[in-house]
């Protein structure tokens, strides 16, 4: 087992990573002293796969559980779903100390987290992420949110979990497309903060794709460590935390313009390609980084070229990004593999030119 501590004073917590660790949830929550009446929030797909072992583990340590369901899909990460959950929590007698256990991918984690942040002004949250993306990214750092109107994650809060329990064995049932989405975020961490992780990915990508337990534990722990350090230094996203959005400004715009037909990880991969190409055009990095990144993304099953979308629409969609300040779009550019910087000084004409080149 690997344990990463997220150090945030009174809100500090452990991220526990291991194959089969879901069956130790009861013990871990007992040690945290959480109320023994717990509510599991999940979707029908994940419930069918993993709730039996979770419930057994909780029952064996004296926890009583209620399970609440949200249908599968990003469209259910909404205020309407949150409203239904508030109602069901009230009906089931949930109190201010009742822990909410988010069992699922980032959609469940963000929604259950948002409900945990707001129900009775905040109840304890436990993240039980079952996708690679959720294990390396969304379950860590306390950003919880729902989508509203056309905009993603625009109604939210910061609400740190009491613990994150990442069971790598749950990734065995994850579709390949979802694995690729998660690997995209791992590559992002390597480019922003860890050149050794980048080399590790180059050497071990096949092992990772074959779901080797050790390789999975290694990349999840390394990613979690990077995210933990960034969050410890900038919990409320005032500066440094922006670096986690490497590739995401263009990525979000690509997702939006494609009407979410292009998955998040795929869109971020295109965004990362755009960032290294911009950095190369500005003379900040050499061509070798572009070649290495493109090769790695391709091997991971990720897109490196922009499909059929209108560049003008992507440029327009970027104006709605949460990172736009005083009309200027903020980009994260690489200085090297393992080092990035934040700038709002990239000429939009250059961005447009690079997007055209990526078509
Ligand atoms: P997801 O939650 O939709 O899960 C992807 C699919 O996999 C779903 O169909 C789900 O039911 C299924 N699934 C989950 N676990 C499974 C398993 N073990 N086996 C088989 N199927 C399984 O998608 P995601 O990629 O995990 O998360 C995306 C969400 O995360 C987005 O809403 C995004 O905005 C959010 N996000 C949040 C943060 C944050 O910091 N809070 C960071 C990144 C992304
Ligand atoms: N996923 C970006 C962040 O947590 O800040």
Say how far apart CA 110 and CA 137 lie, in whole Å.
Answer: 11
- CATH number at 177-358: 1.20.1090.10
Domain 2-173 sits in CATH at 3.40.50.1970
Q: Is the pLDDT of residue 305 over 90?
A: yes
Position 292 pLDDT exceeds 70: yes
Nearest CA to 354 out of 267, 247, 277 is that of 277
pLDDT tens for 75-130 read 999 999 999 999 999 999 999 999 999 999 999 999 999 999 999 999 999 999 99
User: pLDDT value at position 324?
Assistant: 67
Is 104 within 8 Å of 46 (Cβ atoms)?
yes
Tell me what pLDDT residue 231 has. 98
326: phi then psi, degrees, rounded to nearest 5 = 50, 40
Output the pLDDT for position 328.
82
Spell out the alpha helix ranges (H) of the chain.
Answer: 25-31, 44-60, 79-91, 106-118, 132-133, 176-193, 195-209, 213-233, 248-257, 264-281, 287-299, 311-318, 348-357
| Mean of the per-residue pLDDT values of the chain | 96
pLDDT digits over 213-230, tens only?
999 999 999 999 999 999
Distance 72 CA to ligand 1 centre (A): 10
Atom of ligand 1 nearest to the CA of 77: 32
Task: Give the pLDDT score at 323.
Answer: 65
At residue 234, does pLDDT exceed 90? Answer: yes
Within the chain, all domains assigned CATH 1.20.1090.10 are found at 177-358
Phi, psi of 157 (to 5 degrees): -155, 170
Q: How far is ligand 2, taken at its centre, from the CA of residue 215, in Å?
A: 23
pLDDT reported for residue 308: 87
Question: Is 222 close to ligand 2, i.e. is its CB under 6 Å away?
Answer: no
DSSP element (H, E) containing 3: strand 2-6
Ligand nearest to the CA of 255: 1
Answer whether 129 contacts ligand 1 (Cβ < 6 A).
no
Question: Which residues of the chain does CATH 3.40.50.1970 include?
Answer: 2-173
């Amino acid at each position: 087992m690997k344990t990463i501590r997220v150090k945030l004073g009174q809100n500090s917590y452990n991220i526990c990573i291991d194959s089969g660790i879901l069956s130790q949830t009861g013990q871990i929550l007992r040690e945290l002293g959480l109320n023994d009446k717990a509510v599991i929030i999940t979707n029908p797909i994940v419930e069918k796969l993993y709730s039996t072992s979770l419930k057994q583990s909780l029952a064996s340590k004296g926890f009583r559980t209620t399970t609440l369901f949200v249908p599968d899909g990003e469209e259910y990460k909404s205020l309407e779903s949150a409203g239904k959950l508030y109602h069901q929590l009230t009906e089931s007698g949930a109190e201010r100390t009742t822990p909410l256990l988010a069992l699922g991918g980032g959609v469940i984690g963000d929604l259950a987290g948002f409900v945990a942040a707001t129900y009775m002004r905040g109840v304890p949250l436990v993240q039980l992420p079952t996708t690679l993306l959720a294990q390396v990214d969304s379950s860590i750092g306390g950003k919880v949110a729902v989508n509203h109107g056309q905009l993603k994650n625009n109604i939210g809060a910061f609400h740190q979990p009491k613990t994150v329990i990442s069971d790598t064995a749950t990734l065995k049932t994850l579709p390949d497309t979802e694995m690729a989405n998660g690997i995209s975020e791992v590559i992002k961490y390597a480019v922003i903060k860890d050149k050794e992780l980048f080399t590790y990915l180059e050497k071990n990508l096949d092992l990772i794709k074959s779901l080797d337990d050790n390789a999975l534990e290694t990349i999840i722990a390394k990613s979690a460590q990077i995210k933990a350090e960034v969050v410890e230094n900038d919990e409320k996203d005032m500066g440094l935390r922006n670096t986690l959005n490497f590739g995401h400004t263009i990525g979000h715009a690509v997702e939006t313009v494609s009407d979410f037909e292009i998955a998040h990880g795929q869109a971020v991969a295109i965004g990362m390609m755009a960032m290294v190409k911009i950095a190369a055009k500005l003379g900040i990095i050499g061509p070798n980084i572009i070649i290495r990144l493109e090769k790695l993304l391709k091997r991971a099953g990720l897109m490196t070229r922009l499909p059929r979308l209108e560049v003008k629409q992507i440029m327009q969609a970027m104006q709605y990004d949460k990172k736009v300040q005083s009309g200027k779009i903020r980009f994260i550019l690489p200085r090297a593999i393992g080092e990035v910087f934040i700038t709002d000084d990239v000429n939009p004409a250059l961005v447009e030119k690079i997007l055209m080149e990526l078509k």
